[in-house]
Structure 1
Amino acid sequence: MKVWPLFALFSLSVFAYEPENDQVLRFEHSPFKDVQLQCERDKHIVPKRSELQLDNYALLAADNGERVAIITLTNTAGGQRIFNQDHIVAVMADCARLFPQAFEIRLAPRQQTSLQIHFGRTLQPVLQLISSQ
């Protein structure tokens, strides 16, 4: 029958991609999430002012240095707003500040959403995310 070759092909495609262990994202503990950091380095790098509120976030990292965050935002304005990489900054362990990779999302008034943002590869872990609110 022709079912066996299809099953074999499907089985190979399921196991064809297996990420390297150093590429697997893992949640990172965020002990500085609610702490006022006094980092002076790159203090001039600040998020763009907006009426978007960063409600919560979780940090993820891979052994290869990939840094990612899952964020929840709320548009506190009475009208539609656009949120992009200029509205959030990561404070790194060496006190450097880093904008995420480019993204853009539109939010209706009072709308809340969650999304994943990427900071690329870096040796320094993310200590905290900051927004203008």
Structure 2
Amino acid sequence: MKNITTKAFALSLLMASTYGQTEDADKTLRLDNTPFKNSEIYCENDKELHPFQNEFELLDYYSMSSDEGERQVIVTVENSSSGGRSLNHTHFVAILGNCEHINPMKFERKFNGKEIVTLTLNFGFSKFPILKVINQP
């Protein structure tokens, strides 16, 4: 009887760990293909949402998403000014697959002159992928 109980316990542990892995897999962010990264997109902008003018150059970015629809982007930006500047969420806009324009979640980061930094921006959840990220109108 003890052997059956031990096997049942081991099986329930295995099932619980597999369930946890599947649940976590839905939340895992994976790099997305970004075919519009270097292309023009001619979407209507109903909200007229544009990034605020700034002195930051978007050097490169990579979009990430989860099966649950979480959208994040890794951006590398350079402060093109020789003086210190502050970068925030209003300096970026993502264009989604349904042509909606959105800002990332609120953040702020101070930069030294000519500093280059890689950051992760959180754009929340959407069933549509991020097609492109812009930082200047």
- TM class, shorter-length: 0.7 to 0.9
Instruction: Report how far residue 20 of structure 1 moved.
Output: 1.8
Q: Which of 31, 35, 39 is the matching residue for 1:31?
A: 35
Match in the other structure for 1:70:
74
1:120 to 114, 121, 124: 124
Equivalent pair of 1:91/1:127 in contact (CA under 8 Å): yes
Q: How many residues align?
A: 118
Corresponding residue of 1:103: 107
Q: Which amino acid aligns with 2:38?
A: D
CA distance in 1, matches of 2:122, 2:26: 16
Which of the pair has more CA radius of gyration?
2
Q: Which structure 1 residue ranges, 4+ long, deviate > 4 Å from structure 2? A: none
Query: 1:49 is matched by which residue type in structure 2?
Result: Q
Which residue does 1:60 correspond to in 2? 64
Structure with more helix by fraction: 2
Q: Give the TM-score normalised by the residue count of structure 1.
A: 0.84
Match of 2:92 in 1: 88
Q: Is the 8 A contact 1:71 1:114 kept in 2?
A: yes
Query: Which runs of 5 or more residues in structure 2 are unaligned?
Result: 1-16
**What stretches of structure 1 of length at least 5 have no aligned partner?**
1-14
Matches of 1:110 and 1:76, distance apart in 2: 5
C-alpha displacement of 1:41: 3.0
Q: Is the 8 A contact 1:42 1:95 kept in 2?
A: no
User: 1: CA distance between counterparts of 2:57 and 2:133?
Assistant: 12
Percent identity, aligned pairs only, is 31
SS in 2 for 1:20: helix
Q: How far apart are the structure 1 equivalents of 2:115 and 2:92?
A: 18
